[in-house]
Amino acid sequence: MESYDALLASITGTTETKTILDPATGAVVGEAPIHCLEDLEHAITAARSAQPEWAALGHDKRRAALLNAADAVERSAEELAQLLSREQGKPLNGPNARFEVGACAAWLRAAAASSLESETVVDDGETRAILHYRPIGVVGAIGPWNWPMMITVWQIAPALRMGNAVVVKPSEYTPLSVLALAKVLNEELPEGLLTVVAGGRDVGERLAEHPAVGKIMFTGSTATGKAIIKSSSGTVKRLTLELGGNDAGIVLPDADPKAIAEGLFWGAFINTGQTCAALKRLYVHDDIYDAVCEELTAIATATPMGNGLDESSVLGPLQNKQQFDIVSSLVEAARDSGARVLVGGNPDVDQPGYFYPTTLVADIDDNNPLVAEEQFGPALPIIRYGTVDEAIAMANGLDAGLGASVWSSDLSAAREVAARIQAGTVWINKHGAVDPRVPFGGSKQSGYGLEFGTEGLKALGIPQVING
């Protein structure tokens, strides 16, 4: 286990670099290397060289390596969390930096434990067909800035488990976190098998079109996902795309406002709202609308926001100025349209950091931009509805379909509503609770392909039927 300073020094660039600033304070976190297309070529060459021997180890030895990698993450957990908090902005405590590092270890172990046996499709005495899954080869993983370590592990753990090598292109906002994570993982992995190329858009574009890369896994915006589809089409790459979400939550009239308020709050404001599958628009029945608003306002007012290194903070800044401006603009437009700001808004622009206060917006039209566009920040619009059919129609009215939730005291009624919602995952009385054993993926323009568990492993392999 290295000290924080030693870990940071080990990943700092020695040639061309980019200064990374703390979004909470504006202080320098470190110097990230700016890798180029030549670096990418070296990484892909190394991956191609390392992959066959890794695949030949077999599932049991690859499982053992992933378990050792999880141990390595835990040995450096506090140093990784400190770096993550400084670079991304999320607090150490709450469902934030320490939680994210812990999830990295958990997902590595889950990938190691997942089973993927050959499947006998037909064996009737005349025909014998067995379905197997073979490694793809080299997988390209392009990740986001909101959960940079955890989502990178979501991508690389099943890829490695299946016998692939991986080249990672992190977000330009959070390269240090991913470089540090990879350094720790590589303590237990063969050389060249996992490489991070911390470059710009040109590196991502080349990775997506490179003929030696057999699959791209991408988490990020729908616009970038569409660009990757185009870039990858020339080589007919396999794709798993987890794209933008604008998740709806529907509170049925029989729900208990006090009982569900905490779950609603963290469903919306986990990671200060910077989560693809966060609750981003909340539909509440007229009968309990005011009570739900009151309960959420009480929690929002009492939840501390501040510098991530302050042990009392559980909400932090937005990660970058661009996202701060988007949230601020959407809230102000909602206010100007006549919507009622229950709490928040009016950020203090004189303080350092990209802090936007926890904001609840009531009495807002369903077609307001704060509802119709993904805000990706700490501002939740709360929309009234009169009938369940009306709520379902509004929930299904957008092109996004990553996640959704239904809140009710009647599980049977909630499940009936959930079945009518167009989303890859619909949670009941919770929101955004991902599980490494449970498949996860989007519908509509929120992407395609599944991650996690056995289905996630299958997505990182090439199906082969041996018939005879």
Catalytic residues: 242, 276
Please answer whether residues 168 and 143 qualify as being in contact, where contact means their C-beta atoms are separated by less than 8 angstroms: yes
Residue of 120, 144, 289 whose CA lies nearest to 225: 144
Strand order in the sheet with 340-343: 340-343, 359-362, 379-385, 279-285, 247-251, 403-407, 425-428
Q: Write the CB contacts of 435 (distance below 8 Å, at least 6 apart in sequence).
A: 452
> What separation in angstroms does the CA of 117 have from each of 64, 450, 463?
17, 18, 12
**Kindly report the CA angle at 171 between 425 and 373, in degrees rounded to 5?**
50
Q: Which amino acid is at 394?
A: M
Alpha helical stretches, state H, 129-200: 148-161, 175-185
Q: Give the count of beta carbons closer than 10 Å to the beta carbon of residue 284.
A: 27
Q: What span, in angstroms and rounded, lies between the C-alpha atoms of 381 and 369?
A: 10
DSSP reduced 3-state for 322: helix
Exposure string (b/e) for 51-74, b if CB count within 10 Å is 16 or more?
beebbeeebeebbebbbebbebbb
Q: Write the CB contacts of 165 (distance below 8 Å, at least 6 apart in sequence).
A: 47, 48, 50, 51, 54, 137, 138, 139, 192, 193, 194
Q: What span, in angstroms and rounded, lies between the C-alpha atoms of 407 and 390?
A: 16
Q: What span, in angstroms and rounded, lies between the C-alpha atoms of 71 and 128?
A: 42
Q: Write the CB contacts of 445 (distance below 8 Å, at least 6 apart in sequence).
A: 222, 243, 244, 399, 400, 401
Q: Write the CB contacts of 172 (distance below 8 Å, at least 6 apart in sequence).
A: 18, 198, 200
Residue of 431, 125, 62, 106 whose CA lies nearest to 251: 431
